[in-house]
Amino acid sequence: MINSSLKQFGQMLAKKEISSVEMTQTFLNRIQQYNPSINAFITLDADKTLAQAKLADARIAAGTAAPLTGIPIAQKDIFCAKGWRTTCGSKMLETFKAPYDAHVISQFDAEGAVNLGKTNMDEFAMGSSNETSFFGGVKNPWDFDRVPGGSSGGSAAAVAARLCAAATGTDTGGSIRQPASLCGFTGLKPTYGLVSRYGMIAFASSLDQAGPMAKSAEDCALMLDVMAGFDERDSTSLNRPKELYTRDLNMALKGLRIGLPREYFSEGLDANVAKVIEAAIAEYKKLGAEIVDISLPNSQLSIPVYYVLAPAEASSNLSRYDGVRYGHRAAQYDDLMDMYMKSRAEGFGAEVKRRILIGTYVLSAGYYDAYYLKAQQIRRLIADDFVQAFKKCDIIMGPTAPSTAFKAGEKADDPVAMYLQDVYTIATNLAGLPGMSIPAGFSNGLPVGLQIMGNYFDEARMLGVAHAYQQVTDWHQKAPEGIL
């Protein structure tokens, strides 16, 4: 049962083959069995979860069920959920209980989905390995000695280990797609503004975007149907007609132009990963797609641009954690300034402090023009590269990550090496474009992800392109040994 798709879960519930309470309890039992070794979940509340499942069963019995009613979904611990501890993976918010629901949470509640628990993550979503969490690192279910990717590593491990039917994540520079690649499942970052950021704890406001993490493209389409939509409480939410993201799942690929950026297949890409990606591209050619050579000349500047802009926004967003209104407060201090300093020193981890310092520096009066303003100008050039590329192609493909999952601690002392893990994903965030990762094979027993990038609001076509591949391959159905 646990390897079923969301559609299959829904059919089981509709046919009364299983109740939502029974399905939810199955996942709770699996979490109890596997979470001590994987560390995918930060907070569980079985009473709240099962109460939602009972309500879902009543809704199903009344004949008013929606597609995801009664299905257990894990929520990244960056989304506020009323009455649930919401930590963002930080000591700063270790005891914080949200007084309201994030838009994403309320959307799933309205659908009748079950909140299975809050998943582990890099502290304030800052990291590419899920090693910066105050609650400890998450293990990759394919190899416990390796990282699951970050920052949505808890959600990633939960999906890969079948501890949930699906999960939510957020992507600021690749934090849905990179762990999807490293853990072997499907993850989608929508167009910026498509999913409301209301109640999603901010890291870098012009880059953060919530998205679905699930076994298949079809599952992600069903989740995006729920998550997407205008929200007047978020000033960056896009007011546009609601779409049905499952509409193109059966599209034909004949004549589809796939652009391959030459910069994504150069030095730095692991040779074995490249072979897997090339094999996936060959499969698309068999399905009738045309391959087009394109260039994204400024994409190589994505990492330096990102690590100026994202820390600058983080410096501003995290200034609210001062020990006064909520969050960690130092036990002893001499005066107000001492309270600020001690509370922030104790509450934030090393990576968060590093980014706050970088962000404050680049925003300072003497360096604003040289760093922040210049980075914004290059950001525009990166976006323009995509505009030119999409004149030649319909979809862009390439590797999601330069390598398979690396060993825990391997890059902990080298921040730049860690940052390079997002070399292929950051550009879409800077441009505000949608991107996704789908399982494409294995290298030395570890999953490899194929990245699919589309033009603005092209999620339905991207999901159709991914679904077509998943109809002729079974990589997305693979699970770690001993999990099923």
Rounded CA-CA distance 441/450 in Å is 9
d(C-alpha 167, C-alpha 219), whole Å: 10
Is 76 considered catalytic here? Answer: yes
Q: Which of 5, 20, 76, 152 is catalytic?
A: 76
Name the catalytic one among 19, 151, 237, 302: 151
Catalytic site residue from 128, 175, 196, 299: 175
Report the distance separating Cα 124 and Cα 151, nearest Å: 8
Assess contact for 139 and 39: CB atoms under 8 A. yes
For residues 77 and 170, the answer to whether their CB atoms sit within 8 Å is: no
Answer yes or no: are the C-beta atoms of 57 and 19 closer than 8 Å: yes
Return the SS3 of 292. Answer: strand
Other CB atoms closer than 10 Å to residue 280's CB: what's the count?
Answer: 21
- For 88: left if phi > 0, alpha if psi spans -120 to 50, otherwise beta; the answer is left
CA-to-CA dists, residue 200 to 66, 79, 168, 191, 263, angstroms? 24, 5, 11, 16, 33
Q: How many CB atoms lie within 10 A of CB 357?
A: 12
- Name residue 85's beta-bridge partners: 97
The phi-psi region of residue 407 (left if phi > 0; otherwise alpha if psi is between -120 and 50; otherwise beta) is beta
**What stretches of 37-179 adopt beta strand conformation (E)?**
41-43, 72-76, 114-119, 166-170
Residue 37 to residue 31: CA distance in whole angstroms = 10
Two structure tokens written together for 461: 């076509």
Question: Is 151 an active-site residue?
Answer: yes
CB of 223 closer than 8 Å to CB of 185: no
**Could you please report the per-residue DSSP string of 13-67?**
HHTTSS-HHHHHHHHHHHHHHHHHHH--EEE--HHHHHHHHHHHHHHHHTT---T
Name residue 351's beta-bridge partners: none
The vertex-264 CA angle with 263 and 268, nearest 5°, equals 95
Task: Give every CB contact of residue 104 below 8 A, 6+ residues apart in sequence.
Answer: 75, 79, 168, 195, 196, 199, 200, 210, 227
Phi, psi of 157 (to 5 degrees): -65, -35
Catalytic residues: 76, 151, 175
